[in-house]
Structures are given as structure tokens and as C-alpha cells.
Structure 1
Amino acid sequence: MTGIEEFTSQYGLVRKIDAFGYLDYLKSNPDAPRKHGKVVLVTADTPLKASRGEGKTTTTIALIDALNARGIDAAAVLRQPSMGITAAGSKGGASGGGKASLTHPELIDWGLTGEMAAIAAAQNLLVSFAEKAVDEGRIDTILVPRVSEVPSRSLRQITVDSGKNNVAERVVLTPTCEMMQIVVVSRSMEEIGERVAAMIAGTKDGKPVAFGEFIDLWRITNMLADAVKPALTETLNGSPVYVHGGPFANVSLGIPTLVSVQMACALHDVVIVEAGYGADAGAQKWLDIACREYGAQWPSAAVVVTRASTWRDDPALSWRYPFHVQRLENYDIPTFPLINLWEGEDDQIEGLKAVAVEQRFREPILGNLFRDGGEALAPQLDGFIEALTNAPMAPQFHSRKGMDLVENVKWIAKSAYGVPEDRILLKDGFIDSLTAARELCREAGVSLDDLAVVAVKSPATMTDDDTKPEEERTVTLKKVEVHAGAGVVHVNLTTSLTTPMPKIV
């Protein structure tokens, strides 16, 4: 009997799974053994500092260890971090910490599971083809950036002397690039090829030119043969963890690959999916892009992680955590607050529980997960398991394809950041950027309003100024950038960089 083992191969110290092949096998063999796992979304409070997370990965690892200890078949799907910006894991990557860690964290934190390097090589080869196309007179501008895993401030904007004229280029971090987005949303190699072909290489006399018009796509897709396979590793306690995809949620999709989650749901009863940064970033994109636009499974429950200090210590920002929890509850997703304690905060537990009661949260889950791992969570999961077991049916939500782009962003601002449409501001130059993007799409035969909206924003703030009173908070729209191959359009809101520098630790 064919099983997942037939689609699994060794890759260094981890294993790689041909998720495309396995899911095709299940589709062709409906009677083959499979599970129908429920998705749990782990997201977080908006961190006080972008360089310090709230502990989503540590929570995710502790949670699957705790569920497995309770006799529930649980696995996690994590994103690959960016090696450079996480300083190779020294500030916390995608591997947890302490007792809530993976067996080989360096493989994840240093990008040694392979897909990040292959995706970078593929996109950089595309840019090289674009540069050659400039030499040959096929295009006169290049719209696709080069990528790097190691940030460089000097490469954020560069000019290349092509010998005939100067061509503006730029460099972004690998997780933020369009090739990464294509791998994240695609469900077959054929789809990847179609999407790469639709990527807009640049323009010629103002008209868009797609890569499919002048290169053989097999040169790119063959480079991704191993990159499209999720890596299988495990926690220190032996719980399975799949790692695949790595976009930042502040400037990209912020979610693991859709096929890795779909595959995990066929293999396990509960699948914990971690989305990047806070609920205003990763959770918003899982719900509004992965689920609404790409058919990913709606969460049966959610966990919103915070630090005690983030939740309480700045009164001007204390509204954000309750907002996140209630927003997910408003979608009929049973949502549990989880407070990830620092060392020395155990004496605050009763006070934190009292504040949770005042906020009318579900019973909070608290613990020092770095120190205690899943052992801290297992005794506290009765309410969580009951809610997960009795989770409501997934809602019949509607795609927002075809909605006017600005109206779509206003909808996101209201639902995800709590800012009504009459306080959406347009920065000077936004209309020009929008008009140019709409014309580019029209010439390429794409409807701008059919693309999924990626809100590009600061990871540490939800609005232009989160410290202002509710009635004064605004969101400013700044510019528009089309990723036609990935099927998304970026709309810049608050300040954010696609090549941030790492924190020195």
C-alpha cells in the first residue's frame, strides 16, 4: 500500500516530502488512508518592538507537545525564517527555544533545509535574464528585484551600468520576493511554471513584458525541484514539525506554503499553523488571502500569544491585544489568549488571570514555555480541546476579487486595524502609483482588482500612530506594487523595509 513514506526522502538531517506528489496520489485514490485534520492558527499581539517577537514558535512547539501528551495526534507547520534578519537564530528564528525547541534548530535558523537558497537562485537568475533582455532591447526597465538572505543597506537601491544606459535595480530579502510567494500559493509544478511565466520582468516603451515571453521556464522550475518539498523535522519531544515557505507577514504573505498545511491535515488530526508577526499581519493574511482567496482551511480555533509586558505595560497600546482576540472571535473562531511569561514573572499569574476576566477573554493559558515547554500547557488545555472538538462549521465567506483596490484596503483597515474608511488617508503620489499599477495590469491583461491585497506595513504598529486615541487613529496609503505572477498586489501603508538590518545580539 502506498503511503507518505513513498514520497519521503532524506535531505541531510531532515527529511523532504514530495507534497505535490502525495496530494496528487490522494486525489487519484480517494479511498487511500488519510485524515482530515483541523487547523489551529497561532498568531500574536503586535510586538512593542519589531525585533522582539512574542513567542509564537515557542508556543506552537509547546502546544503540539502538550496535545500529543494528551493523546491527540498533532503536528505543526512553520515558516522558514530569514537567516540574516534573525541573525542566524541568535535573536530567535523559527525553531522555538528552551524546552520548546526543534531537535536541530540550526537547520531551520540557517536556512539549511534548502528552499530559501533555491528560491533566491531562481529569482536572481530571472533578474539576470532580465538584464540580458535589456542588452538585447527586449525591455528597457527591470521591475523584479534581486534577492539576498543577508541584508545590505547599500543594495536597497542600486543602478547598473548596462553599457548602453543605466538601469535601476534593487535587492530585497529572499522571504519577501515574488518567487517565494509563488511557491507559497502554488499547488503543482505546472502552476509554478504558469505563475513564473506571468511575472512581469520589466517594460519596453512603457508596456509590460512577462518572463514567459522570452525565456524557457523549465530552467527556473527545475531549480525548485527540492525547494517545493516541505522539510520534516521534530521537537525535542518527538512531535512532528513541517517547515516550508518563509514570507514576512509585514511585507509579504507571512504564512507557510498552502501545500504543506494541506498535506499535514491529511496526516494528522490537529495541525498548528503559525502566521507571521501579530494578528494584524500574519493572521489577517491567513484569513483574507490563504482562506478567502486560495481556499486554505478556515481555523477551527486560534491562539493569540503575548508577553505580559506587551499586553499591559504601555497603557497607550493596551487596546491592541483585546482587539486581536475579539476580532478573531467575531469570525466565530474560538480564540484563546496565551501569555508567554519571562523568567521571574510567575508571581504575576493571578493578576494576569484577573485582567483576562475583566477583558472577558476565554480562560487564559499562561506559562514560561521556554523553561517548561509543553508540560506547562498540558494541564490547561481542557477548554481549548473542548472548543476545538466542537468548533463551528467554517463560514461561507466570499472572495473579494473584483472589489475596487482602495475599497478593499479600507475593508482590511477597518477589520484588521479598527480604522474606519473616513480616516484612510492618501499620501501624495499614491494616486499616481495606483494609476500606474492599474495601467500596467491593463496592458498585461490582468485586472488589478482581482489580485489579492498584501498590506505592507510596520510589524510594530497597526495604524499610523497606535498611541493616539481610537477616534484619532489613521492609516495612510502610500504606494502600489504589482506581483502578477503571485496573483497579489502590495499596498504600502505604514513605514516598512524589505531589506531590514539584523539586531545586534
Structure 2
Amino acid sequence: MQPITTIASHLGIDINDLEPYGKYAAKLSESLWDDIEARDNGKLILVTAMNPTPAGEGKTLTTIGLTQGLNRIGHKAVAALREPSLGPCMGMKGGATGSGAAQIVPSDDINLHFTGDIHAVTSAHNLAAAMLDNHLMQGNALHIDVNRIVWKRVVDMNDRPLRRTVIGLGEGNGVVREDGYMITTASEVMAVLCLAENLQDLKKRLGRMILAYSMTGEPITVDQIGATEAMSVLLRHAVKPNLVQTIEGDPVLIHGGPFANIAHGCSSVRATRYGLKLADYVVTEAGFGADLGAEKFLDIKCRQTGLMPSVVVLVATVKALKYNGGIKKDELTAPNLDALQEGLANLRRHIENLHKYGLPIVVAVNRFATDTEEELHEVISFCRGLSCEVALSEAWAKGGEGARALAEAVAQAAECSRVEEEFRLLYPDNTPLRDKIKIVVREIYRGADIRFTPKASRALSRIEEQFGHELPVCMAKTPYSFSDNPKLLGAPVDFVMDISDVRISAGAGFVVVETGTIMTMPGLPKEPAALRIQLHEDGTVSGLE
């Protein structure tokens, strides 16, 4: 690793504009933004993928490799990524900093605590919860209905027993009521941190977050319980983007970490804007598959900020295609052209969906050692038949050099992009909320209809009555299928999607729509990744890969 001051110098950042966290990480100062704000923007590249599978598609790896590749062919490029959550690091996924020759470093530090941003979000969120419960105990001057408190607590860990809790038990311990926990990455505070333009915008968004409803049905906000300023103090450093590096010494901005299955799935607006002023290309990713992450990036982040990607890179693998063609995980390395052809329906669906936004697409085929030439040729021919640019990526084995072909294809597509004339959102702002949900389900998921539980229907009616129709929808859905059934692979059609709950995120500026049995607090698998993690005598860590 190079000193972070050296990495900063690649972007023309002076040492006085860094707030170092050790030798190899730093936060970018407010004064830097004042110096670069007037500069022209570089080009934004969005990396997304087909639906995730147990084999792993390498979306983050491809984002890193593409950044390395763009720098190798003479461009100034920076990656903009989300911060890993301890939940998946200790749970099913393990670390989230890439692998092989396409990694961001210091990977162990990034995966474990990093600069404390996620801890700050946890503390700020739980401060609001504590002040709300204290208000109830101290007389409840706001006449809060204890049966309509919508603000759960959070913890950055997969901990399923905390999904539903009872608090206040015992004399003098507050009001006895049902409560529960979400994972921190699902917190609205995390969404606010990632969508805020600056500290002032952060305060406004925090202040209008809704914690509960009064006896007469009026929303009770963070401002009303007096927590806004103290929460802002806890987040004053977390709001600044973090600078690290790839294994080849390329700059990476890593900031914020909302999940895309239960939140909006994008790294921070601030990191994106810093990157666009500092580099020719900003390569960013959206969580999970394009049906979740890319849709939310485009319909939420781009809608709120006016940002537009010049190109979308859609990551696919032979293994993922065969898995969507019905092959089990332990059989994916064996050649199977029939299953691959069957699974191409999933890739086709994502390509068709992204074309609806008017964006140029480059399919990145992330190559594995077990892929046959015949299988790769089939995928490449398929993509070209859909008028898509396509390139093999060997970033895992060869780093930036292995992503050279992909970088060249992306750079060429970006130079020819007419995004300002052709980009379009999926629905206009003034579309009724029920119709927005139907549009996403029909146009992106290809479902036939939606079905509300009575609870969800009542919640949506209240939101429409109190807040109108202007906000976009943030769908909370399984990432493994276009439907709300994780076992329905490939490209299902004509299903009915069940809407189990709807809630307003007034600070973030969207309406969360929970589908099926989606959980805002994941659980650990039978053999969690934490079992593999070891601390050695020399202080090094293993098992986070």
C-alpha cells in the first residue's frame, strides 16, 4: 500500500484537505469541496449485475477492476463504493472489498469498523429511539400513540432474535411496549447520510424523519423530540467521504452502506460528487441485481440529485447463467450449454429493463477459470444479438490489465453516450403511489399485479393522505428473484407480488414498500462467516475474504 497522501496526490488533493485515519485511509475535508465545486463533472459509470447467486457474480470486483483498467488506458478514474456492514461480513457473505488482483485496501480495516461511519449511524439512530422513549416516560407531552411508534432500534449485525422485542420491563424502566431492531444499513439515518448534499441538508433530512404518530394521527418527527442537533453532532465526521486505494494504487471513495434489498443501495451522493469533480470517470455500483440496485440508483438517487450515468455496466457470469437455468451450486463448474441458454433469459430481462431508461449498456462477462470457450462465445453472441456491447473481464486474475478490454468498451460507450438527451426515469413524480408500485412490478419485475395486506393498504392510504404522491418508491424485495419468491429463478412472469407493509421515509425522501417475507433484520446462516475469521499472533486477520 502507498501512503494515503500519495493516493490523494493522484487526484490533485493537497495534504491539508485530508483528515487521516492512520497511514492508508483519510476523510476528505469540507474545504476541498469549496475548492473543486466549480469544476466540470467527469462521467459517471454505474455497475450493476444480474440477480445474485451463491456462486457470486463479482460486481464489486468488476467495479474495482474497471477503475484499475480505466487508469491503465490513460484515464483518471476513481471508484465510489459502499462501506461493508459487519452483518454480512460475519454472516453469509464475508468481506466486501473485492478479491484477487481487484481489491480495495486496507481490506481488513475497511471490512471491520473502518472510520466508524456505520457506528456513528447506529449511535445517531438509537439516540432518537432513546429520546423518544424518554419522552414517553416523562409525561408524553406530544400525546404519542404507543401503538403507532414506527422507529425501531438498530445494530450492525445479523441478529434475528432482535426482530421483535418487548422493552420497558421492570419498575422505573420506561413504558412497556413492543419494539424491535433493524440492521443499521436499513436505517433511515443511513439513507439520509447517503443522500444528503451537505451538513445543512443532513440536518434538515434528520429533522423531518418520522418516529411515531400522535393519538390524532399526526406524524411525530425527530425535530419535535429535539434530537436533530445531537444526532448531527454524532454524524459530523461520518458525513465526510473516505479515501482509500485499490491493490494497484488507484483512488477509491468509499462512503455509506445502505443495502439494496431493504434500502436504496447506493454509496453517498457526496462521494459521487467529489469523485466527479476530481476524475474523468467515477465508477460506482448499485447493490444486488439491476432489478433492485440499478432501479433505485436511477429512480431515487438520480431523481433527487440530477446525476445521470453515461453508461451502465451489467455484470454476468457463466456460473450465474447456469444457476438461473436450473443447475445446483455444486454442479456449476461442469460445462452445460443447455442450462446456460435457459439462464440467458435472466440476463435478457435485465438488458431490456435498463434499455427502458435510455442508457447505453456494456455487459461485463466476469470470467472464471472453469468457463469453457464455447460457453463464453454463447454469452457474447447473445449480448451482441441484443445490440449490447460486451467484453470479457479477467480482473480477478490480472487486475487492471485484465479489465483493459472492458475499460476500452466502457470509455468508448461513454464518449458516444447521449445520456442528457435520452435518459428517462421509470415514472414521473406526480404518479400516484399505488401506480408507481405497479409500474415497478410490471415494468421491471414483470409481475401481473400487486396484492396488499390490509395493514399495507391502510398504511399507503395514510401516506398518500398526509404526504401526497410526489415521493419515489423504494422496493424492499428478495434479491434472488425478479419476484418476491427467492426460489423463482430465471425470468418469471405474470406472478402476483404481495405487499406486506408500506412506510414513509420522509427524511430520505422515499416510500419503502415491503414485499413478501422480506426482513429488515437478517439472520446468521447455519455456518456464519464469523467461524472462519482468525486473529494471528502477528496481529494479521484471515478469513474475511
Alignment equivalent of 2:472, drawn from 452, 461, 466: 452
Q: Structure 1 residues 337-346 or 69-78, which shifts more?
A: 337-346
Task: Using the TM superposition, give the Cα deviation of residue 183 of structure 1 relative to its aligned residue in structure 2, in angstroms.
Answer: 0.6
Alignment pair present for 1:59 and 2:81: no
Task: Using the TM superposition, give the Cα deviation of residue 220 of structure 1 relative to its aligned residue in structure 2, in angstroms.
Answer: 1.3
Q: In structure 2, the residue corresponding to 1:181 is in which secondary structure? A: helix
Please tell me whether the aligned partners of residues 249 and 275 of structure 1 are also in contact (alpha carbons under 8 angstroms): yes
Alignment equivalent of 2:436, drawn from 380, 404, 408: 408
C-alpha distance after superposition, 1:340-376 (max 9, x if no partner)? 2333225455434454257435342224432222222
Query: 1:44, 1:237 → 2: CA distance?
Result: 24
Alignment equivalent of 1:338, drawn from 347, 353, 364: 364
Query: 2:406, 2:153 → 1: CA distance?
Result: 47
Query: 2:509, 2:81 → 1: CA distance?
Result: 23
Alignment equivalent of 1:376, drawn from 402, 408, 414: 402
Alignment pair present for 1:474 and 2:496: yes
Alignment equivalent of 2:207, drawn from 197, 202, 222: 197
Question: In structure 1, what is the equivalent of residue 333 of structure 2?
Answer: none
Task: Using the TM superposition, give the Cα deviation of residue 92 of structure 1 relative to its aligned residue in structure 2, in angstroms.
Answer: 4.5
Query: 1:192, 1:54 → 2: CA distance?
Result: 34
Alignment equivalent of 2:414, drawn from 388, 396, 399: 388
Matching of residues 90-169 of structure 1 within 5 Å: 91-138=93-140, 139-141=144-146, 142-161=149-168, 163=172, 165-169=175-179
Question: In structure 2, what is the equivalent of residue 417 of structure 1?
Answer: 445
Matching of residues 39-78 of structure 1 within 5 Å: 39-49=44-54, 53-78=56-81
Question: In structure 2, what is the equivalent of residue 499 of structure 1?
Answer: 521
Query: 1:448, 1:374 → 2: CA distance?
Result: 48
Q: Structure 2: which amino acid aligns with 1:463?
A: S
> Structure 1 pair 502/312, CA: closer, same or farther in 2 (3 Å)?
same
- The gaps in structure 2 that reach 5 residues or longer are 1-11, 326-341, 530-545
Question: In structure 1, what is the equivalent of residue 191 of structure 2?
Answer: 181
C-alpha distance after superposition, 1:234-293 (max 9, x if no partner)? 10111110000100001101001111101100000010011100000110011100112x
Query: 2:366, 2:409 → 1: CA distance?
Result: 18
Query: 2:73, 2:490 → 1: CA distance?
Result: 44
Query: 1:469, 1:56 → 2: CA distance?
Result: 20
Matching of residues 294-443 of structure 1 within 5 Å: 294-315=304-325, 318-345=344-371, 347-348=373-374, 350-353=376-379, 355-356=381-382, 359-394=385-420, 395=422, 397=424, 400-420=428-448, 423-438=449-464, 442=466
Question: In structure 2, what is the equivalent of residue 291 of structure 1?
Answer: 302
C-alpha distance after superposition, 1:373-429 (max 9, x if no partner)? 222221454333221111113246467333211101112122322335xx2333444
Q: In structure 1, the residue corresponding to 2:513 is in which secondary structure? A: strand
Query: 1:122, 1:412 → 2: CA distance?
Result: 32
Query: 2:364, 2:267 → 1: CA distance?
Result: 22
Alignment equivalent of 1:16, drawn from 27, 35, 54: 27
Q: Structure 1 residues 192-201 or 121-130, which shifts more?
A: 192-201
Q: Structure 1: which amino acid aligns with 2:446?
A: G
Task: Using the TM superposition, give the Cα deviation of residue 431 of structure 1 relative to its aligned residue in structure 2, in angstroms.
Answer: 1.6
Task: Using the TM superposition, give the Cα deviation of residue 168 of structure 1 relative to its aligned residue in structure 2, in angstroms.
Answer: 1.8
- The gaps in structure 1 that reach 5 residues or longer are none
Q: How many residues in Structure 1 have an aligned counterpart in Structure 2?
A: 485
Please tell me whether the aligned partners of residues 261 and 292 of structure 2 are also in contact (alpha carbons under 8 angstroms): yes
TM-score by length of 1: 0.89
Please tell me whether the aligned partners of residues 302 and 333 of structure 1 are also in contact (alpha carbons under 8 angstroms): yes
> Structure 1 pair 408/363, CA: closer, same or farther in 2 (3 Å)?
closer
> Structure 1 pair 427/495, CA: closer, same or farther in 2 (3 Å)?
same
C-alpha distance after superposition, 1:168-211 (max 9, x if no partner)? 21111111101001111111211111121111222332432212
Q: In structure 1, the residue corresponding to 2:88 is in which secondary structure? A: coil
Q: Structure 1 residues 166-175 or 177-186, which shifts more?
A: 166-175
Q: Structure 1: which amino acid aligns with 2:212?
A: G
Question: In structure 2, what is the equivalent of residue 38 of structure 1?
Answer: 43
Question: In structure 2, what is the equivalent of residue 225 of structure 1?
Answer: 236
* Cα-Cα RMSD: 2.4
> Structure 1 pair 325/178, CA: closer, same or farther in 2 (3 Å)?
same
Q: Structure 2: which amino acid aligns with 1:73?
A: K
TM-score by length of 2: 0.83
Question: In structure 2, what is the equivalent of residue 266 of structure 1?
Answer: 277
Query: 2:380, 2:280 → 1: CA distance?
Result: 33
Please tell me whether the aligned partners of residues 475 and 493 of structure 1 are also in contact (alpha carbons under 8 angstroms): yes
Q: Structure 2: which amino acid aligns with 1:408?
A: K
Please tell me whether the aligned partners of residues 358 and 423 of structure 2 are also in contact (alpha carbons under 8 angstroms): no
Query: 1:495, 1:318 → 2: CA distance?
Result: 27
Please tell me whether the aligned partners of residues 168 and 177 of structure 2 are also in contact (alpha carbons under 8 angstroms): yes
Query: 2:387, 2:150 → 1: CA distance?
Result: 46
Please tell me whether the aligned partners of residues 86 and 502 of structure 1 are also in contact (alpha carbons under 8 angstroms): no
Q: In structure 1, the residue corresponding to 2:240 is in which secondary structure? A: coil
Q: Percent identity?
A: 28
> Structure 1 pair 365/234, CA: closer, same or farther in 2 (3 Å)?
same
Q: In structure 2, the residue corresponding to 1:389 is in which secondary structure? A: helix
> Structure 1 pair 431/364, CA: closer, same or farther in 2 (3 Å)?
same
Please tell me whether the aligned partners of residues 332 and 392 of structure 1 are also in contact (alpha carbons under 8 angstroms): no
Question: In structure 2, what is the equivalent of residue 208 of structure 1?
Answer: 219
Query: 1:357, 1:450 → 2: CA distance?
Result: 36
Q: Structure 1 residues 304-313 or 223-232, which shifts more?
A: 304-313
